[in-house]
Amino acid sequence: MDELELLKKHWQSDAVEEKQLSSKELYPMLWKKSSSIVKTLFYISIAELIFWVAITFLPKLSASYRAQVESTHMNETLLTSLTIFSFTVILVFIYLLFKAYKSISVTDNAKKLMESILSTRKVIKYYVGYNLIMAVVAMILGSYYATQTDPKVVELMAKADTNGKLIMAAIIIVMTVVFVGLIWLFYKLIYGILMKRLNRNYKELKKLEV
């Protein structure tokens, strides 16, 4: 009976040692993968900022674009305020991702690494939600100014009967849904894939903590 007990203890000690060895081997791999993912997210956010800067400011160099804006009597103050706000949010997002990357890079504690992963997931979630809301706002404002101040659209609306106006409203709604859907798909493909990998790392780390 004593030999059986000794054998059980030996098996248990082997299992604990194997788990510790496994943890020691897995943690550096998960740390490296998580750090690489957050670093990639950071670079994507930089590229996105450059893209939006180009989209926002390059058209303003065109004389025809400036003439079109002036003809629609768009509220330049509102547009400028929204632009500044949007870029501020992107810069804050970039800062938070960089902060998350630095946090993951220097930590040697599994619990802190898990907290950094959770923080990164939360930042991405809020940022994607913000961009979807802003896409809806942009479409609403664009549609409003088009129907209220664009001479061609105003003339078309004046000539349209009730059915025509309903059709135009339906077209605007469909365009808004498609536009927001494309943005959601972009973030789903780019950020979603990376976030799934980060989530898998989090689950593996959680198992190591048990």
pLDDT tens digits for range 80-114:
788 888 888 889 998 988 888 888 877 767 778 88
Minimum mean pLDDT among 51-65, 91-105, 115-129, 157-171: which range?
51-65
pLDDT at 142 over 70: yes
Question: Residue 98's domain spans which residues?
Answer: 2-209
Burial 86-113, CB ≥16 within 10 A → b, else e: beeebeebbebbbbbbebbeebeebeeb
Of the pLDDT bands very low, low, confident and very high (cuts 50, 70, 90), residue 200 is: confident
Looking at the 3D structure of the chain, how many domains does it have?
1
